[in-house]
Amino acid sequence: MAKTPSPQELWNIDHKPPKKWWMDLPLNIRPGNFSYPAKPQILKELDMPNPRPWSPLDEDWKLPPNWKEIVLEGIRERLDKFRTFKVFMDICVRCGACADKCHFFIGSGDPRNMPVLRAELLRSIYRGEFTKAGKLLGRFGGARELTVDVIKEWFHYFYQCTECRRCSVFCPYGIDTAEITMLGREILNLLGLNINWIMEPVRNCFKIGNHLGIQPHSLKDMVDFFIDDIEEVTGVRIEVPFMKKGAEVLFVTPSGDYFADPGTYTFMGYLMLFHEIGLDYTMSYYAAEGGNFGLFSSNENMKRLNAKIYAEAKRLGVKWILGGECGHMWRVINQFMDTMNGPADFLEVPKSPITGTVFENARSTKMVHITEFTSDLIKHGKLNLDPSRNDHLKVTFHDSCNPVRAMGLLEEPRYVIKNVCNNFYEMPEDTIREKTFCCGSGSGLNNDEFMEMRMRGGLPRANAVQYVHDKHDVNTLACICAIDRAALTTLMNYWVPDVTVYGVHELVANALVMKGEKKRTTDLRQMPIPGMEDAEDV
């Protein structure tokens, strides 16, 4: 009979994980830390390789028989196409400056979430298969053999990176893990290893025009709801032009803004602003999506989706394009759009019809960020604002990764917020601006099956919010990203439940005094504004 263990032994059950080097660590795939694979039908519709049903929990991932050849050829091709790939594979000195900068590492303690090791997953194969030194020295030279387990590891960890680029800020050589993850995902895509939360929006956006796949007539109905809601709050009936040829401006925003709470209020905010300043604009059902999940699968998919914006601007004959609040959308617009689908020589250099300001910084791409546009309006005193309507909100601002680290949009949103809110508090210095922490759900990982990982990854952000909540009683987290609005709401519910997430233009619209409006007693969420509940209509 087995000896009954002593209480001492039972208390001291060793839960320590094995002390192994990363190359020897087993992969721990479990529900909550991976995203579901793309449905075969979706891959077929996009002409993507190896559509099949499979699960990361299966032993057999049903890779094509010549998978190894495909991967090696995929790497070779990308080495020839991307200088970044070659340079980033060759020059890392493993100084460790990036190691503790990743929100997933900070929140999980999983060493393979250190940016340097995430890159080494790929770099070790590069050395082993593409460099003489690596072939010669093997594991000793940091090289290893390409096996199915390596592919599984890639899938796991390249879909555990939100491409936020925080590590890149600290790297002495500017090695950008987002770039490595993007290339890693491109290679995985060649084997049909992708996730549904990315590929389904890509398909929907491509075929129908927006991530959720809402057809144009349904979208029209939804916008009618917004018009009703705006009238209920403000007493002003507005019009929302769609497919209007010859309008001055084409407005493009992520579809999350018209489908998902609380983005919907931000969307109402844009509409109210445009109405108030009398902007001659139009939206489109064809190019109804500012977001671009192609960015999270391959540069080709990114281009396919992005092409619609210029095409539609041309068809409608607008002068320039205005873009809504979205993070990764602005990475695409600022760093890829003109290169991929330009030149936009059929458009004019953007000029605000209200203030006459010429947006020289968008001279070539011809697309302006809405906070650039609105801060110009405010600067020129074109808006009648009553920030006291937001007095019950103590606001802090979350810098979204892409507008900061792929653009440098720092002061514009702050300027707008400070003009529409009286109580603004910054989070600690190390957690904002170029050092901002990701929401933990970027790059197509904002799916619900990935919830545990997202809560871990968002912990550093939530922790900084907690700090200003404790210190300044902050109850409002403003942001300029559709994924943030959805993901931070969930994140706050878990970590800092007293804080509510707002889009910047929702705050603008709350403060915006419109011509002919009734006395506002509620905000856009139709929640009473403290101190104004009992006011009578004027």
Partner 1 sequence: MGESQGLSALLQKKRADIITRWAGILVDSYPSGAHEFLSNKKNRFANPVGYTIAKEIAAMVDGLINRQDIDSFSSSLDKIMRIRTVQDFKPSEALAFVYQLKGVIRECLDESLSDAEVRAGLEELDAFTDALGLLAFDIYVGCKEQLYQLRVDEVKRNTYMLVKRAKMLVEGPEGDQGSRNLV
Partner 2 sequence: MDRAALPFVAVIALVITPLIGVGAISLHYLFGVIVPYVAALIFFAGFIMKVVNWGTSPVPFRIPTTCGQQKSLPWFKHSKLENPVTGIQVIGRMFLEVVFFRSLFRNLKPEIRGGPRIVYGPTKWLWFFALMFHWCFFIIFFRHLRLFTEPVPGVVTFVDRIDSMFQICIPPIYLTDLGLLLGITCLFLRRVIVPQVRYLSLPSDYFPLFLIIGIAVTGMLMRYVIRVDIIKVKELALSLAAFSPKVPQGIGVIFYTHLFLVCVLAMYFPFSKLMHLGGVFMSPTRNLANNNRIVRHINPWNPKVKLHPYEEWEDEFRDKLLDAGIPVEKKG
Segment 239 to 258, residues that bind partner 1, using CB under 8 A: 256, 258
Which tokens hold the place of 5? 């263990």
Using rule CB under 8 A, residue 475 touches partner 1: no
First to last CA, the chain: 87
Using rule CB under 8 A, residue 170 touches partner 1: no
Location of structure tokens 């997430």: 501
Least separation, in Å, of the C-beta of 462 and partner 1? 8
Least separation, in Å, of the C-beta of 479 and partner 2? 18
- Count CB-CB contacts under 10 A for residue 250: 28
Among partner 1, partner 2, none, residue 309 binds (CB under 5-8 Å by kind): none
Q: Which of 30, 132, 245, 515 binds partner 1 (CB under 8 A)?
A: 30
Residue 74: strand, helix, or coil: helix
Site string for partner 1, 257-276 (x = CB under 8 A): -xxxxx-x------------
Helix axes 148-158, 115-130, angle to 10 degrees: 150
3-state secondary structure 432-492: CHHHCCCCCCCCCCCCHHHHHHHHHHHHHHHHHHHHHHHHHCCCEEEECCHHHHHHHHHHH
Nearest to partner 1 of 126, 259 (CB atom):
259
Among partner 1, partner 2, none, residue 222 binds (CB under 5-8 Å by kind): partner 1
Among partner 1, partner 2, none, residue 523 binds (CB under 5-8 Å by kind): none
Nearest to partner 2 of 77, 391 (CB atom):
77
Q: Which of 37, 51, 78, 108 binds partner 1 (CB under 8 A)?
A: 108
Using rule CB under 8 A, residue 388 touches partner 1: no
Using rule CB under 8 A, residue 534 touches partner 1: no
3-state secondary structure 87-142: HHHHHCCCCCCCHHHCHHHHHHCCHHHCHHHHHHHHHHHHHHHHCHHHHHHHHHHC
Nearest to partner 1 of 316, 393 (CB atom):
393
Using rule CB under 8 A, residue 57 touches partner 1: no
Site string for partner 1, 500-529 (x = CB under 8 A): xx-----------------------xx---
Q: Which of 2, 3, 4, 19 binds partner 1 (CB under 8 A)?
A: 19
Nearest to partner 2 of 7, 96 (CB atom):
96
Using rule CB under 8 A, residue 215 touches partner 1: no
Q: What is the distance between the alpha carbons of residues 118 and 346, in angstroms, rounded to a whole number?
A: 42
> Could you tell me whether strands 476-479 and 395-397 are parallel, antiparallel, or unpaired per DSSP bridges?
parallel
Least separation, in Å, of the C-beta of 139 and partner 1? 18
Compute the Cα dihedral for 505, 508, 509, 510 and give only its sign.
positive
Q: What is the distance between the alpha carbons of residues 357 and 350, in angstroms, rounded to a whole number?
A: 8
Which tokens hold the place of 57? 């929990």
Among partner 2, partner 1, none, residue 515 binds (CB under 5-8 Å by kind): none
Among partner 2, partner 1, none, residue 452 binds (CB under 5-8 Å by kind): partner 1
* Structural contact between residues 201 and 211, judged by C-beta atoms closer than 8 angstroms: yes
Residue 322: strand, helix, or coil: strand
Among partner 1, partner 2, none, residue 524 binds (CB under 5-8 Å by kind): none
Nearest to partner 1 of 322, 432 (CB atom):
432
CA atoms in the 13 A half-sphere facing the CB of 201: 24
Q: Which of 106, 354, 407, 532 binds partner 1 (CB under 8 A)?
A: 106
Among partner 1, partner 2, none, residue 172 binds (CB under 5-8 Å by kind): partner 2
Nearest to partner 2 of 119, 445 (CB atom):
119
Q: Which of 428, 470, 531, 535 binds partner 1 (CB under 8 A)?
A: 428
Number of residues that bind partner 1 (CB under 8 A): 67
The candidate with the shortest Cα–Cα distance to 371, out of 306, 419, 332, is: 419
Among partner 1, partner 2, none, residue 264 binds (CB under 5-8 Å by kind): partner 1
- Count CB-CB contacts under 10 A for residue 131: 16
* Structural contact between residues 248 and 318, judged by C-beta atoms closer than 8 angstroms: yes
Nearest to partner 1 of 365, 490 (CB atom):
490
Q: Which amino acid is at 348?
A: E
Q: Which of 23, 72, 97, 99 binds partner 1 (CB under 8 A)?
A: 99
For residue 410, what are the CA distances in angstroms to 403, 451, 479?
8, 29, 11
3-state secondary structure 417-446: HHHHCCCECCCCHHHCHHHCCCCCCCCCCC
Q: Which residues bind partner 1 (CB under 8 A)?
A: 7-8, 10-13, 15-20, 22, 25, 28, 30, 32-33, 99-100, 105-111, 114, 117, 212, 214, 218, 221-222, 225, 256, 258-262, 264, 428, 430-431, 448-449, 451-453, 455-456, 459-460, 463-464, 467, 486, 489-490, 493-495, 500-501, 525-526
